[in-house]
Amino acid sequence: MNNSVATPALSRPLVVILEDDNGVRRSLQLLLQGRGFDVKAYGNARALLDDPTGAAAACLVADYYLGDTDGIAVLEQLRARGWINPAILMTAFGSAELMQRAKAAGFDEVFEKPLKDLALTKALDRLTARSAPFGDAAG
């Protein structure tokens, strides 16, 4: 008789990256996949907002400057749709005013570029531990 118990596969949190720079986006994707996250990366806001699988994200990592829009506007649109999970803003244009705007919009963290890999992954570990499914206010 076999007494072993099958253990379910561990769920890996889905992190959505919104970054218009191809090299930065790919680098972040590889970093986070290597640290055990499932990653879906987008090069523009429209692609993210049009993709219903983005709603399953445990966390959003968004660049501030995206050409035709910015990460703050994208998070506001996601929040208007009921997405409640944590978000991290990346910026090369850090200022006290931007920090205030980001926090007011619901970003949990704001990191200046160039990113420090360890700070980003530690923040993601902490933030995804409390993420809820789309539309679930408990969490």
What is the model's pLDDT at position 12? 85
Cross-strand partners of 18: 42, 62
pTM beyond 0.75: the answer is yes
For the stretch 51-87, pLDDT in tens is 998 889 999 999 999 988 999 999 999 999 999 999 9
User: Looking at the domain assignment, is residue 105 inside a domain?
Assistant: yes
Q: Per the domain annotation, does 136 fall within a domain? A: no
Least confident of 11-15, 24-28, 47-51, 84-88: 11-15
Residue 138, domain member (yes or no):
no
> Residue 62: inside a domain, yes or no?
yes
Domain range spanning residue 78?
A: 14-128
CATH number for position 122: 3.40.50.2300
Percent of the chain with pLDDT over 70: 85
Is the residue at 103 inside a domain? yes
Q: Tell me whether residue 137 is in a domain.
A: no
Question: What's the mean pLDDT in 125-138?
Answer: 63
Tally of structural domains, the chain: 1
Domain annotation covers residue 117: yes
- 67 occurs within a structural domain: yes
Alpha carbon of 75 to those of 4, 6, 27, 111: distances in Å?
A: 45, 39, 22, 16
